[in-house]
Amino acid sequence: MTEHLPRYRPPRWLRSGHLQTVLPSLFRTVGGVAYRRERIDTPDGDFLDLDWSEASGGGASRLVVVSHGLEGSSDRAYVRGMARAFNRIGWDALAWNLRGCSGEPNRLLRSYHSGATEDLDAVVRHALSRGYAAVGLVGFSLGGNLTLKYLGERGDAADARVVGGVAFSVPCDLAASAARLARPENLAYMRRFMLSLLPKLEAKRARFPGRLPDVDVSKIRTFAEFDGAYTAPAHGFASAEDYWRRASSRSFLPGIRRPTLLVNALDDPFLAPACFPEAEARANPHFHLLTPRWGGHVGFMHDRLDGTYWSEQVATAFLEEVARGASGARRAA
């Protein structure tokens, strides 16, 4: 299903994984997206904030659910860009905010993590209750891991209206990615993540005294230390390593039974070799892997920061084809 997708050939000055990672993250802006916010409750007493962007004219029968990355939100340019791209081809878009990422702290000690597909399931179920004929999933980085894991967990049991998924820049082997990001050349990325994560950890410790390990938060520098101090104990994992093993989407790829595309750039500074699941793609006809030479982490820009990105062209083309095929199969039945 990938032979008809557009190929990625950026201009020479953008053939750098670091430039592709940094420039869109810091400088891209996306207009033409007007969100309408909705809050839904979760079964465990928390909440999720959803941002809807409807196609012009209303009455769309197709919806894309967009999942953002670590410490992102529905307001990130890559999410807004994807919502705009689908709106332009007549799909509604639902960009959901993971717990604690919508601008307001969530209610519980737990928040979100790479394997928390129960929240994505709650969002998909809510979306399906609106009567859409077809729902596609798009995820970036951590949100891509959620997307792949969700589809792999459900397999044939996934709702028939969930037609497929696309994931970009996914650390599908969390242990390998954590080790890659701990390397000296990625120190700037790690520091940026920690500047966002550590204040949230301090706030959790203040709101829930005695519920987390007694560690010096100021000394946390890596995901191994952060996940050991917070992610694992707050979400029922024995250790950071246990969390990485159980939450990594790579082990769930054989279970995928909807057309699903993973796009990981070979120059992505966040991804180790274990994050390129070539054997799984060869073994599962429903799972497809694209590994462009360039693109960085959640990059894939052309020559303009504010234009349409290659990732948006790929996702819309893939899911449009998948949705047409699913609609044709239903009519034939």
**114, 177, 268, 286: which is the annotated catalytic residue?**
268
Q: What is the dihedral of CA 51, 35, 66, 155, to 10 degrees?
A: 50
| Start-to-end Cα distance in the chain | 22
Q: Is 141 an active-site residue?
A: yes
Report the distance separating Cα 226 and Cα 219, nearest Å. 10
Contact status, residue 182 vs residue 106, Cβ threshold 8 Å: no
Strand order in the sheet with 287-290: 36-41, 47-53, 92-97, 62-67, 134-140, 162-168, 260-263, 287-290
Active-site residue, selected from the candidate residues 25, 74, 141, 177? 141
- Residue 232 tokens read as 């694992």
For the chain, counts of helices (H) and of strands (E): 11, 8
Q: How far apart are CA 269 and CA 248, in angstroms?
A: 18
297 is known as an active-site residue: yes
Residues 6+ apart with CB under 8 A from 141: 68, 69, 70, 72, 168, 169, 170, 171, 270, 297, 298
Bridge partners of residue 261, in order along the sequence: 166, 288
- What are residue 288's DSSP bridge partners? 261
The burial of 129, by beta-carbon neighbours within 10 Å (0-12 exposed, 13-18 middle, 19 or more buried), is given as exposed
Ramachandran category for residue 298: left, alpha or beta (phi over 0 → left; psi -120 to 50 → alpha): left
Give the pair of three-digit tokens for residue 99.
Answer: 């717990």
Q: Which residues are catalytic?
A: 141, 268, 297
